[in-house]
Structure 1
Amino acid sequence: MHPMLNIAVRATRKAGNFIVKNYEIPNSIEDYYNNRNHLVTSINRDAEHLIIEVIRRSYPQHCIFSKVNGTITGQNKDIQWIIDPLDGTANFIKRFPHFSISIAAQVKGRTEIAVIYDPIRNDLFTAVRGQGAQLNGCRLRGSNIHDLEHTTLVTAFPNFDLRQQAQTYFKLISKLFTQSVEFRCTGASALNLAYVASGCVDGYFEIGLKLWNFAAGELLVRESSGIVTDFNGTHNYISSGNIVAGNLRIVKNLLLNIR
């Protein structure tokens, strides 16, 4: 196993055990908004601390970019870990059992390692650039369906701060619905991408994501024969946060409808 992947897996499992333990004690959850207006809980904060502790123990010079703490600089500027300690926070608060821990490691701006862990199902999605993607040690391949008809797509409704785009978004969903597309709305973007990589769903699109939402999932999709673009078919999703993912034919068809 790649040494950084080994550390990422160790960190996600440690955080996952902590999250599941507190999931069973809902009164221990304290929720609040951080300075980027994102809902987080005391569980996010403490889980992130556990992850950073594991990473720092092995790689004290690496940089870290995380949902709760933001940027933590290190001497080695070439390597950055991107952490979402609890993707699907609202689900966790409501005791809807669909959330994950997401960790990616980038080397000179390119994602090399990805781990997404669902602690409720004990599903561990991993990827190493050029070596494929796996779920619990088994190789992943995405959906090979070609046409949108009878596909299952996953998406999410725009957040409150993106409400000015809601009308356009609903028009897109309506247009796709008339093409016999089925929709899922799960509230966990990292798992959405992991499910595209595993073929559980055929495609995914969403607007306004943050880097920690998709850094790991993007590599999973690519390493399982899929592609990821923005709504214009380019790689500008890193700055825009607008994502389309799936196999080549599904993404092309989605982009035609979006345009």
Structure 2
Amino acid sequence: MNGSTAAVVMDGTGVKAVLFDLDNTLIETSRAGAEAIRQTSELLKSTLSLDDSTISIISDKFKQKLFQESFEPLAGRSIDEVRVGHWEESIQEAVGSCSSPSLAAQCYNLWKNSRLQALHLSPEICDLLRQLRRRYKLLLLTNGETQTQREKVEAVGCEEFFDAIVIGGEHVEQKPYVSIFTLCFNMLEVKAKDCIMVGDSLDTDIQGGVNSGVRATVWISRAGGAVPDGSVRPDYTIPTVLDLPVILDQLN
């Protein structure tokens, strides 16, 4: 665990609330996504009789379209329709055509359902959240499109662990904007200096925590990597959220 407490506000009072990110902080979304891509690739392989290289190109194109998604209003289209379109475009761009109108929808449904099935809160993290909630107010603050993030929350059954859940897509601004953090503080009836922000993204979680003036920011970096030059610097870096109690003990 790395800690740099010089920038942490210490005023004699303890932490009252913890704000958690969801994806790749409490649940392993990247691993679930990789499993979903694997299963969908098998479907494409058996349906289109393509070589592994072409299947990889289709999958990479789909992942790139996901990455480039805007969370702006979808012009009357549901997120499901948008992502079926991602698969259809990815197949067409790689092979020049889509073998049947329903193939893209099959790919999307398999990818979506297998990803949700692979998501879970580990027993250890469930125990951690139960322990923390005895002492702190807990809030889940996740960026993303509303339906997608709500489906994840439901799939992993995490509502019981939090005093409030805030989905970025339901608001005008998402992390790292101060407005959504202010909303969270108001919901919990705490001040920024009473809270810590825990998440895996330097650009959204840590930057947002710094922007909004939380007591401390905690970066989840499974690889234990150094903070890139020019990036916001977290107050603490840990490889897993399970190490959070040690940091809370220091702050209190």
- The two structures have a TM-score, normalised by structure 2, of 0.27
Higher relative contact order (CA 8 A, sep 6+): 2
Which structure's residues are more often strand, by fraction? 1
Structure with higher Rg: it is: 2
